[in-house]
Structure 1
Amino acid sequence: MKHIFLIPALAVMAACATTPVYGPARPDSGFGYFSQQIEQGRHMVSYTDNDPIRARNMALLRASEITLTEGKDWFEITNEAADTEEKRGGGTSLSIGGGSGSYGRSSSVGVGAGIAIALGGGGGPGKTTHTLEIVTGKNPKPEKAEAYDARSVDLNLRVNSG
């Protein structure tokens, strides 16, 4: 009966092992958050992750943390952008070259063909950095789609932060 609980626990551990842990950006990989105060009540927040949806969600989580730390109730996104790096992929290549010998008696021509094989998955999306510019404020929260209640965001997204 104890083994029934072990399987879900192992699945959760495996999921967290493949996803970077929520926290400040690491110098070795760049995964994590970066935030900078632009002026009082205005911040730039970014989060880098392999999953674009998680990158946005964790940027929102960081925005909520900053808002609550300032003693504010809500934040509004005034600007938003996502940048996804493409992984290098494999492909084929063909090269043709020629030349002549230096002694005047011989000439040579070379032909080569090669195939590049991508190790580690090949092309496709790589890591994504999602950047938010936010302003923070106290209640009442503006009735805009871009305005978020910081406590609700923190509560709902902290569960999925790894």
Structure 2
Amino acid sequence: MRPRSNFHSFAVFAVVAFLGACASTPTYTPAARQGGAGYSEQRIESNRYTVTYRASGSANAQLLEDYALLRAADLAIANGSEWFWVDRRTLDDGNSSYGGPSVGIGVGGGSWGGRSGGSVGVGINIPIGNGGAQQARSATLDIRFGEGPKPDDANAYDARETAANLRSRLPG
């Protein structure tokens, strides 16, 4: 039996990594079940909704918020509104811990066979790999539909224009 070459092993690893990355990229689809990946909404009042876009794992936070905005625009259009207002935005990263660099100190000791010893260790953690983009598991928007002229405010969105712009640049 012939041994595998390093190139062959690398090629297999590269294909698996590529397929894994493709599989984890969120797309604009409805959630198949409550709490599943995709968009979902909950009606609060006739003109108020909570819209959530959830990824299957951690993903680019801006992409998740854009998908939630797209769903908000689609809901506004479906409800006959020309614009919508975002009252609140929430990103959930899956934990509340700090994701930046950190330093840890550990102290240990023990004995074995009548001998004892101690140690002190210092560790440094510097997160790498996400290109500086904020990661999240979900983005949630509290929205309400508006009537009449759209306010000139950063939280007010023209539903048709927002949907067209986001669809032109988002995957899936």
Aligned residue number for residue 39 of structure 1: 45
The alpha-carbon distance between structure 1 residues 126 and 68, as it changes in their structure 2 partners (threshold 3 A), is: same
- Bigger Cα Rg: 1
Aligned residue number for residue 89 of structure 2: 80
Deviations 1:11-64 (A, max 9, x none): xxx886551221112459832112111011000011123110101111100000
Contact 2:61/2:135 (<8 A) preserved: no
Aligned residue number for residue 134 of structure 1: 143
Contact 1:58/1:161 (<8 A) preserved: no
Give the gaps of 5 or more residues in structure 2. 1-18, 117-127
Aligned residue number for residue 28 of structure 2: 22
TM-score (norm 1): 0.64
Identity of aligned residues (%): 37
Measure the CA separation in 2 of the matches of 1:161 and 1:148: 21
SS of match in other structure, 2:151: coil
In angstroms, what is the RMSD of aligned CA positions? 4.1
Matched, 1:152 2:161: yes
Letter in 1 for 2:84: F
Aligned residue number for residue 60 of structure 1: 69
| Structure 1 residue 126 displacement after superposition | 5.3
Runs of 4+ with deviation above 2 angstroms: 14-18, 25-31, 94-99, 121-128
Give the gaps of 5 or more residues in structure 1. 1-13, 100-105, 110-120
Measure the CA separation in 2 of the matches of 1:134 and 1:29: 19
Contact 2:30/2:39 (<8 A) preserved: yes
TM-score (norm 2): 0.60
> How many pairs does the alignment contain?
143
Measure the CA separation in 2 of the matches of 1:46 and 1:76: 15
| Structure 1 residue 77 displacement after superposition | 0.6
Measure the CA separation in 2 of the matches of 1:23 and 1:145: 26
